[in-house]
Chain A
Amino acid sequence: MDFDLSEAQHRRLDAVSAVVDAAGSSADGEQVDKLLLASDVLDGADLLDGFMITEELARRGLGGAFGLHALVGDLLPEGRVAGRVAVAEAQQSGPVRFADSASTLIVLDGVHAVLYDPSSLDIRPENTVYGFPFAHVRASGAGRRLPDGHAARIRARWRLALTAEIAGNARSAIAKTADHLTSRRQFGRPLASFQALRHRLADAAVSAEATSWLGREAAFTNDDRAVVRAAWYASNTASTLVPELVQMCGARSFTIEFGLHVFTMRMNCLRLELRGIDRLGLELCELAPARSAGGLQAPAGQQ
Chain B
Amino acid sequence: MRFDWSEADAEFRSALRDFVADELPPRWQDLIPGAEPASQFIVDFCHKLGERGWLTPHWPAEYGGTEASAWQFIILGEELWSAGEPRGSQYMNVNWIGPAIINAGTPEQRAYHLRRISAGDVFWCQGFSEMDAGTDLASMQTTAVRDGDDYVINGEKVWTSYAAEADFCFLLARTDPDSQGNTGISVFLVPTDTPGFTIEPIPSVLDIHEYNRLTFDNVRVSATVRLGPENHGWQVVREALSHERIGGPRYARAALVTQRLRDLAGERGWWERDGVKTRLADAEAACEAARILVYQAIDARAKGRSEDLAVNLARVAIVRCERIVAELALELFEGESLELGSVGNSQLKTSMIAGLGGGSVEVQLNGIARSLLGPNER
Contacts and interface: CB of A to CB of B under 8 A. Distances in A.
Interface of A: 1-6, 9, 48, 52, 174, 178, 181-182, 189-190, 192-193, 195, 198-199, 201-203, 205-207, 209-210, 213-214, 216-217, 220-221, 229, 232-233, 236, 277-278, 280-282, 284-286, 289, 291, 293-297, 299-302
Contacts of B259: 289, 291, 295
Given A2-B299, A217-B3, A294-B17, A203 B289 contact: no
Interface stretch (B30-38, B112-120, B250-258): B250-258
B278 interface: yes
B252 A296 contact: yes
A161 B21 CA distance: 40
Given A192-B378, A202-B369, A210-B317, A216 B3 contact: yes
Given A192-B374, A295-B255, A9 B1 contact: yes
B282 interface: yes
B236 interface: no
B225 interface: no
A280 B2 CA distance: 26
Nearest to B82: A295
Given A5-B1, A174-B372, A201-B373, A296 B262 contact: no
B292 A217 contact: yes
B204 interface: no
Nearest to A229: B285
7 nearest interchain CB pairs?
A: A295-B256, A281-B278, A281-B281, A198-B369, A202-B368, A210-B289, A3-B299
A213 B82 CA distance: 23
Interface in B325-378: 362, 364-369, 372-374, 376-378
B275 to A, nearest CB: 8
B282 A236 contact: yes
Given A1-B3, A3-B299, A210 B365 contact: no
Contacts of B262: 285, 289
Interface string B260-303: 00100000000000000111111011011111110110111001
B316 A206 contact: yes
B357 to A, nearest CB: 18
Contacts of A291: 259
A120 B5 CA distance: 48
Given A1-B299, A293-B17, A205 B368 contact: yes
Contacts of A202: 312, 316, 364-369, 372
B313 interface: yes
A294 B79 contact: yes
Contacts of B15: none
A210 B292 contact: yes
Nearest to A210: B289
15 contacts: A1-B298, A4-B1, A174-B372, A190-B378, A195-B369, A199-B362, A201-B372, A202-B312, A202-B368, A202-B372, A213-B289, A213-B296, A216-B3, A282-B281, A302-B13
| Interface of A: prevailing SS | helix
Nearest to B256: A295
B1 A277 contact: no
A213 B4 CA distance: 13
A140 B251 CA distance: 51
Given A1-B299, A198-B365, A284 B284 contact: yes
B5 A6 contact: no
A278 B279 CA distance: 9
B293 A210 contact: yes
Given A277-B281, A282-B278, A294-B256, 14 more contacts: A1-B4, A1-B71, A4-B1, A5-B1, A9-B1, A210-B293, A210-B313, A210-B317, A216-B1, A232-B281, A236-B282, A280-B281, A293-B82, A295-B253
A2 B69 CA distance: 13
Which of B3, B289, B316, B362 neighbours the largest number of chain A CB atoms within 10 Å of its CB? Answer: B3
A134 B82 CA distance: 47
Contacts of B292: 210, 213-214, 217
Contact of B369 (A201, A232, A280, A289): A201
Contacts of B378: 189-190, 192-193
A223 to B, nearest CB: 10
A296 B78 contact: yes
B320 interface: yes
Given A178-B372, A193-B378, A295-B259, A214 B289 contact: yes
B135 to A, nearest CB: 13
Nearest to A219: B3
A220 B1 CA distance: 9
Interface-centre pick from A190, A202, A229, A232 (highest chain B CB count, 10 A): A202
A278 B278 CA distance: 6
A232 B290 CA distance: 15
Contacts of B364: 202
A277 B79 CA distance: 30
Given A229-B288, A281-B277, A285-B281, A198 B376 contact: yes
Given A1-B3, A48-B1, A229-B288, A297 B281 contact: no
A103 B358 CA distance: 56
A199 B367 CA distance: 9
A210 B293 CA distance: 6
A206 B368 contact: yes
B10 interface: yes
A205 B277 contact: no
A3 B295 contact: yes
Contacts of B313: 205-206, 209-210
A1 B295 contact: yes
A51 to B, nearest CB: 10
Contacts of B368: 201-202, 205-206
A297 B366 CA distance: 30
Nearest to B378: A193
A214 B255 CA distance: 15
Contacts of B287: 296-297
